Chains A and B, each alone.
Chain A
Amino acid sequence: MIQLKNLERSYKTAAGQFFVLRRINLDIRQGEFITVMGPSGAGKSSLLNVLALLDDGWQGEYWFRDQAVHDMRRKQRGELAKRNVGMVFQSYHLLDDLTVRENIDLPLSYKDIPHKQRQGMVADTLDRFQIVAKKDLFPSQLSGGQQQLVGVARAVIHKPALLLADEPTGNLHSSQAKEIMELFRDLNQQGTTIVQVTHSDSNAAYGSRTIQLRDGWMVSDTANPELQPYEAIKQ
Chain B
Amino acid sequence: MNTILTNLRYAFRVLRKSPGFTLVAAVTLALGIASTTAIFSMVDQVLLHSLPYPHSDRIVYVSQTDRPTGEGDATSPANYLDWLAQNRVFSQMAASRGWQGNLGGERPERIRITMASASFFPLFGVRTLLGRSLLPEDESPGHDHVAVISYALWKRRFNADRALLNQDITLNNEKYTIIGVMPPNFAPDNHGELWVPSPWSVPAHPLVPSQDPRQFRSRNYLDVWARLKPGVTLQQARSEMDAIARRLEKQYPDDNRDVAIGVTGMQDSLVSDVRPVLYVLLGAVVFVLLIGCANVANLLLARGKGRSREVSIRAALGASRAGLIWQLLTESVLLALLGGLLGILLAAWGVPVLLTLAPAEIRELGAVGVNTEILVLGLLLSLATGILFGLAPAFHLANENLQESLKEGERGSTGHGGRTRSILVVAEVGLSLILLIGAGLTIKSFVRVLRVDPGFDPTHLLVFSVGLPSSATPAQQDNFYRQVTESFQELPGVQLAGAVSRLPLSGGNSSRSFKVPGNDRGYSADIRVSTPEYFRTMGIPIIRGRFLTAHDIEGSTPVVVVNEALAEGAFPGQDPIGKFLLDFGPGSEKLQIVGVIGNVRHVGLEIAPHYEAYLPFGQAHWPSVFMAVRTRTTDPLALVPAVQNAVWSVDKSVPLSDVRTMHDVVARSLRQRKFTMTLLGIFAGLAVALAAVGLYGVMSYSVVQRTHEIGIRMALGAQQHDVLKMVVQRGMSLAGVGVILGVAASFGLTRLISHLLFGVSPSDPVTFLAVAVLLMSVALFANYIPARRATQVDPMVALRCE
A interface with B by C-beta (< 8 Å): 45, 49, 52, 54-55, 74-75, 78-79, 81-82, 87, 89-91, 93, 95-97, 106-107, 110-111, 140, 154, 158
Q: Is the CB of B712 within 8 A of A93?
A: yes
Give the distance to chain A from B355, nearest Cβ to Cβ, in Å. 53
Cα A111 to Cα B717 with chains together (Å): 8
Task: Please report the total number of B residues contacting A with Cβ < 8 Å.
Answer: 20
Interface string of B719-736 (1 = CB under 8 A from A): 110100000000000000
Closest to A171 in B: B802
The contact string, 1 if C-beta is below 8 Å from chain A, for chain B 393-421, is 00000000000000000011110000000
Residues of B within 8 A of A154 (CB): 716
Chain B positions within 8 Å of A111 at CB level = 717
Task: State whether A81 and B720 are in contact (beta carbons under 8 Å apart), knowing that A49-B796, A93-B712, A95-B709 are contacts in the complex.
Answer: no
Q: Is the CB of A75 within 8 A of B719?
A: yes
A52-B414 in contact (CB<8A): no
Indicate if the CB atoms of A93 and B719 lie closer than 8 Å: no
Report the separation of the CA atoms of residues A45 and B717 in the bound assembly, to the nearest whole angstrom: 18
CA distance A111 to B709 in the complex (A): 18
Contacts of A158 in B (CB 8 A): 717
| Bound complex: CA A110 to CA B726 (Å) | 11
Q: Could you write out 6 A-B pairs with CB less than 8 Å apart?
A: A49-B796, A90-B802, A93-B712, A97-B412, A110-B719, A154-B716
What's the nearest-Cβ distance from chain B to residue A53, in Å?
10
Please tell me if B323 contacts chain A, counting CB pairs below 8 Å.
no
Indicate whether B714 reaches chain A with its CB closer than 8 angstroms.
yes
For B719, give its contact among A55, A78, A90, A107 (CB under 8 Å): A78
Q: Enumerate chain A residues within 8 angstroms of B474, measured Cβ to Cβ.
A: none
A93 near B799: Cβ-Cβ < 8 Å: yes
- Cβ-neighbour of A110 out of B717, B795, B799, B802 (below 8 A): B717
Q: Which residue of A lies closest to B723 (CB)?
A: A110
The residues in B between 669 and 721 inclusive whose CB is less than 8 angstroms from any CB of A are: 709, 712-720
User: In the bound complex, what is the Cα–Cα distance between A106 and B722 (angstroms)?
Assistant: 12
| CB-defined contacts of A140 to chain B, threshold 8 Å | 411
Report Cα–Cα, A107/B719, bound state, in Å: 11
Contacts of B412 in A (CB 8 A): 96-97
* Complex-state Cα separation, A97 to B412, whole angstroms: 6
Q: A97 contacts which chain B residues (CB < 8 A)? A: 412-414
| B 762-802 contacts with A by CB, 8 A | 795-796, 799-800, 802
Q: Are the C-beta atoms of B802 and A82 separated by less than 8 Å? A: no
Report A-chain residues with C-beta under 8 Å of the C-beta of B715.
52, 54, 87, 89, 93
Beta-carbon contact of B799 and A89 below 8 Å:
yes
CB of B719 to closest CB in A, whole Å: 5
- B residues adjacent to A (C-beta < 8 A): 411-414, 709, 712-720, 722, 795-796, 799-800, 802
* Least Cβ–Cβ distance between B800 and chain A, in angstroms: 8
Measured between alpha carbons, how far is A54 from B713 in the docked complex, in Å? 11
| Extra A-B contacts (10), CB below 8 Å, given A74-B720, A97-B413 | A52-B715, A54-B714, A54-B796, A81-B717, A93-B715, A96-B412, A97-B412, A110-B716, A110-B719, A158-B717
Q: Is the interface of B mostly helix, strand, loop or mixed?
A: helix
- Bound Cα distance from A123 to B412, whole angstroms: 26
User: In the complex, what's the smallest C-beta–C-beta distance from A216 to chain B, in angstroms?
Assistant: 16
Chain A residues with Cβ below 8 Å from B709 are 95
Closest 7 CB pairs of A and B: A82-B717, A110-B717, A93-B712, A78-B719, A107-B716, A96-B411, A91-B802
A81, B799: Cα distance in complex, Å: 17
What is the minimal beta-carbon distance from A234 to any residue of chain B, in angstroms?
Answer: 26
Nearest Cβ on chain A to B468's Cβ, whole angstroms: 87
Nearest B residue to A158 via CB reads B717
Known contacts A96-B411, A96-B413; A110/B718 CB under 8 A: yes
The residue in B712, B713, B717, B799 that gathers the most chain A C-beta atoms within 10 A of its C-beta is: B717
Q: Looking across the interface, which residue of chain B has its beta carbon closest to that of A79?
A: B719
Chain B positions within 8 Å of A110 at CB level: 713, 716-719, 722
The chain B residue with its CB closest to the CB of A49 is: B796
Chain B residues with CB below 8 A from A91, complex form: 802
Taking the nearest CB of chain A, how far is it from the CB of B473, in angstroms? 93
Chain A residues whose C-beta falls within 8 Å of the C-beta of B712 in the assembled complex = 93, 95
**Chain A hits for B413, CB < 8 A:** 96-97
> Distance in Å from the Cβ of B443 to the closest Cβ of chain A?
43
B713: A residues at CB distance < 8 A: 95, 106, 110
Instruction: Specify which chain B residues have a CB less than 8 angstroms from the CB of A55 in the assembled complex.
Output: 796
Which residues on A sit within 8 Å (CB–CB) of B796?
49, 54-55
Q: Which residues of B contact A82 (CB under 8 A)?
A: 716-717, 719
Question: Which of chain A's residues have a CB closer than 8 A to the CB of B719?
Answer: 75, 78-79, 82, 110
How distant is the Cα of A106 from the Cα of B718 in the complex, in angstroms?
9
| A170 vs B718: C-alpha distance when bound (angstroms) | 26
Chain B: minimal CB distance from A110 (Å): 4
User: How near does chain B come to A54, taking the closest CB pair, in angstroms?
Assistant: 5
Task: Tell me the bound Cα distance from A91 to B411 in angstroms.
Answer: 13
Cβ-closest chain B residue relative to A85: B717
| Distance between B583 CB and nearest chain A CB, rounded to angstroms | 84
The CA of A154 and the CA of B412, in the complex, are separated in Å by 20
C-alpha spacing A96/B802, complex, angstroms:
14
Least Cβ–Cβ distance between B791 and chain A, in angstroms: 10
Decide: A54 near B802, CB < 8 A? Known: A106-B716, A154-B716: no
Set of chain A residues within 8 Å of B800, measured between Cβ atoms: 45
Across the interface, do B722 and A54 meet the contact criterion of CB distance under 8 Å? no
Q: What CA separation (Å) do A79 and B720 show in the bound complex?
A: 11
Chain B residues in 8 Å Cβ range of A54: 714-715, 795-796
Contact A87 B716 (CB under 8 A): yes
Nearest CB of chain A from residue B717's CB, rounded to whole Å: 3
When distances are taken between beta carbons in the complex, the residues of chain A under 8 Å from B802 are: 90-91
Closest to B411 in A: A96
Q: How far is the CB of A85 from chain B (nearest CB, A)?
A: 8
Complex CA distance for A49 and B802, rounded to whole angstroms: 16
Q: How far is the CB of A99 from chain B (nearest CB, A)?
A: 13
Cα-based distance from A49 to B794 in the complex (angstroms): 11
A111 to B722, CA, bound (A): 10
